Structure 1
C-alpha cells in the first residue's frame, strides 16, 4: 500500500492583525525544553564562573531560535511533519528514532516526574518524594489524556508567566551588581569552562521537544506558508522569554553562590540547595516564591513532553501504518497518542522504587546525546534539497549558522557520550 502521510492538510489563513493573540506553540516548545536539569546546569555555571558565561546563554538562545525556525519552516513550507522529513531521507532514520523514543520515554517518565516531586517535597515535606512523583505523573496523565491542545497551551503559557515572574523577579535583587553582570557579555573562556559553555550554548533546552514544535502549531491550525511570519514571531518571542529566564538563573547563581563559594549538587536536587541559600539570605517568603517558580518550570516540562512527544510517537506509528496526516489516530486524543501517554506514565513508576538500571541509563544517555546532531544535520539536508520548496530553502547565512550549530552539537554529543561511559 502506498504511503499517504505526505498529503498536506488544507491550508488556513492567518489573522490580518493581532499576532500577539495567536502566539503560543513557541512558548510550549521553549517551556518544555527548559527543565530542572537545564536550570541546574545554568546554576552550576554561575556558581563556578560567576557572570563570565552570560554570553554563552545569549548564543544558546540565538541557536535555538535558528534551529526551531528551521523546524517550523520545513513543516509550513511542505505541509509535512518532521518525522515525514526524516523518513524521506531513508529508513536509517527510523533505526535511530524508534529505540530512542521508546527508551527516552521510559527513563524520562521517571526523571521528569521526580523533578516535579522535588519542589513539592520542599513545599510539603510531610509527603514522601516517591508519592509526589507518582501524583505528578497521574495529574499529567489526566491532563494530557483529556486536554486538547488549546487547553495545554493556555495552561503552559500561565506556567511560563509564573516561571518568568518568580525567577526573573528574584534575579532583579542582584541589580546592584549590574556593571559586573554586564562584563559577562564579553566572550571569555575561564579555565575549565569549556564544558559549561557547550552546555549553555547548545545543551540548554536541547531535546526531542525542539522537533515537536511543528506538531504543536499544526494542532493549533497553522497550515501553509502564509503562516511563516506568525511562526517566526511566535518562535522568536518564546525563546527570548526563556532565554531571559535562563540568564536570570545564571545571574542568581553568580550572585548567591559564586561570591559566597557555595557549591550545589549537579542533579535536580541542586535547585533545592539554592532554595536554602535564598532562605538564608532573603527569608522564607522569597524561598517559597522561588520553589513555586521551580515547580512551574518542572511541571511545564513534563506536560509538554506528555503532549508533544506523544504526538511525535503517533506520527511515527502513522507512517508505519501508512495513514493520512489528518487521521484522528495521529492527533491529540487519538489511540496512538494515548498509547504513548500510557507508556510515559505507568511503566516508569517502577524506577521510583527500583532505581535506574545501568544499561538503560547508558542507552538513554547515548541516544539522547545523538539527538541534537541528528536534528541539526537532517535539517541542513532537508532545507537545502528538493525536500523543501525552493523559495523556503536556507540562504547562505542560515546555512552558516546551522552548520556551526551542527558542529557544536557533534562536539557536545562526543563530550556527553564520553561522560556517560566514564561514570
Structure 2
C-alpha cells in the first residue's frame, strides 16, 4: 500500500487544483432547471429567509458525495459493488428504479433543453429542439470519452455561472439581508420550500455516479483521497454560489415586485421575460443561454454517468468480471442505456406522460436519497472498507443527519406524488 500511495500523493500535492474535474461534473449534472426554479420561488416568497437552506443543501451533498468517493477510492470498487454486498434487496430496488427513472428523465431532460432553445430560436418547437439536444448528448458521450464530457461541462458551467451570477449582481443585492438569511429560520408555511431547496441543491442519482467519474478520471487509489475531497468541496462551493445567486434574483427581482413564476422548467422562461422587461431584451436572451447550459449539462452528465451505473448493474446480474468491457464506459450495456435515455422517451414528448409511470418515478425517485444515505452509513462502518477509511464520529453524525433529512423529504414527496 505504501509504495502505491506515495507516488499518487506526491502527484496530487503538486497539482491538486489542475486536476479538479469529476466534482464539477457531478455538481453541474445535479443542478437542473427544476432545482433552480425551486430556489427562485423560495426567494420570491420569503426573500432571504431560506438562504441558510442553500448552504445546508451544499453541506449535505458534500457529505454524501465524499462518502461515495471515499468508498470507491478506499476499495477500488464501484458503489454498486458496495450496495450488492448488502443483499439482494438493493438490486430489487435499484433495477426498476434506474429503468423507470431513465425513461421519464430522458423526456424531462430533452424538454428542459428544448424550452430555452425554442424561446431563442422559435423556428422549431420545444419537442424538436429537445430531440436535437438528446441526439447531441448521445453523440458526445457515445464513445465514453470522459475528457470530452469534462470539457463540455466546464464550458456549460461557465455559461451557467456567468449568466446567473451576472443576473444577481444586476439586481444590486441587499447585503445585510443576505447575512441575515444565513440564520436558520422557518417562516410560516415554508416547510415544503425548506425541504425542496435544501434537498434539491446538486443532484440525486448522479451523486452516486461520482465514483464512476473518479475512475474515468484515473483517480483510483487511496492516494487520491485528498484531491477527491478538494474537488468535491470546490465543486459544491461553486454550486452554492450559483444557487445563492438564483435565490438573490428571486428575492430582489421577484419578491419586491410581487411577481410569481411557474413551477418546473417554465419558471425560468418567466424569469427571462422579467429580466428582459427590466434590463432589456439582451439580458433575457443571455439568461436563456444560461438556462440552456444548466439543462444541457444535466443531460450530458446523466447520459454518461447513469449509463455507467447501468452497465455496472447489468454486469453484476450477468456475473461478468468487474473489468469486463460490458461493465465499462463505451461497452454494450453503457450504450444500450444511452439509447434507452434518448429514443423511447421521445414518444413521451409527443404523447404526454402516463400517470402510472409518473407515480412510479415519483415514489422510486423520492426514496433514492435516503437509500444512498443509509447504505453509505452501513457500508462505511463495516469491514467492507479498510479501517483507515471507515467513518469517524463526525462522518457518522453528518451521514445520519442526511439519512433523517432525506427520509422526511421522501415521505413528503411520496405523499404529494400519490395525492397529485
More moved, 202-211 vs 335-344: 202-211
Instruction: Report 1:244-393 matches (<5 A).
Output: 244-393=241-390
Q: Distance in 2 between matches of 1:327 and 1:98?
A: 20
Between the aligned partners of 1:269 and 1:28, the Cα distance in structure 2 is 24
CA distance in 1, matches of 2:202, 2:218: 25
Task: Find 2:90's aligned residue among 89, 93, 97.
Answer: 93
**TM-score between the two structures when normalised by the length of structure 1:** 0.96
1:13 pairs with 2:8: yes
Contact conserved, 1:219 with 1:331, CA < 8 A, in 2? Answer: no
Unaligned ranges ≥5, structure 1: 1-9
| Structure 1 match to 2:212 | 215
Farther off after superposition, 68-77 or 15-24? 15-24
Q: Can you list the C-alpha shifts for 1:320-369, whole angstroms capped at 9, x where unaligned?
A: 12222222222221111000000000000000111000000000000000
Cα distance change, pair 416–49 in 1 and its aligned pair in 2 (3 A): same
Whole-angstrom distance in 1 between the partners of 2:67 and 2:358: 30
**TM superposition shift of 1:306:** 0.2
Could you list the runs of 4 or more consecutive aligned residues of structure 1 that deviate by over 3 angstroms after TM superposition? none
SS of 1:107's equivalent in the other structure is helix
Equivalent residues in 2 for 1:394-413, closer than 5 Å: 394-413=391-410
Moved more, 343-352 or 13-22: 13-22
Unmatched 5+ stretches in structure 2: none
Match of 1:112 in 2: 109
> 1:287: Cα distance to partner?
1.1
Quote the offset at 1:206 in angstroms. Answer: 3.3
Structure 1 counterpart of 2:38: 41
- Judge conservation of contact 2:144–2:304 (CA < 8 Å) in 1: no
Within the candidate set 47, 61, 69, 1:72 is matched to: 69
- Post-superposition Cα deviations, 1:103-128, rounded to whole Å, max 9, x if no partner, equal 00000000011000111011112211
Contact 1:206 1:372 in 2 (8 A): no
Is the Cα–Cα contact under 8 Å of residues 202 and 239 in structure 2 kept in the other structure?
no
Which of the residues 171, 174, 191 maps onto 1:174?
171
User: Which of 27, 33, 38 pairs up with 1:30?
Assistant: 27
Aligned partner of 2:230 in structure 1 is 233
Give the structure 1 partner of residue 51 of structure 2: 54
Q: Distance in 1 between matches of 2:227 and 2:177?
A: 37
* Partner in structure 2 of residue 3 of structure 1: none
Name the Cα RMSD after superposition: 1.2
Cα deviation, residue 176, structure 1: 4.7
Relative to structure 2, which stretch is displaced further, 85-94 or 390-399? 390-399
Partners of 2:397 and 2:416 in 1: how far apart? 29
Rounded to whole Å, the distance in 2 between the matches of 1:90 and 1:147 is: 30
Deviation string 1:267-312 (CA, Å, 9 cap, x unpaired) is: 2101100011001111111111111111111000000000000000
Which of 129, 134, 138 matches 1:132?
129
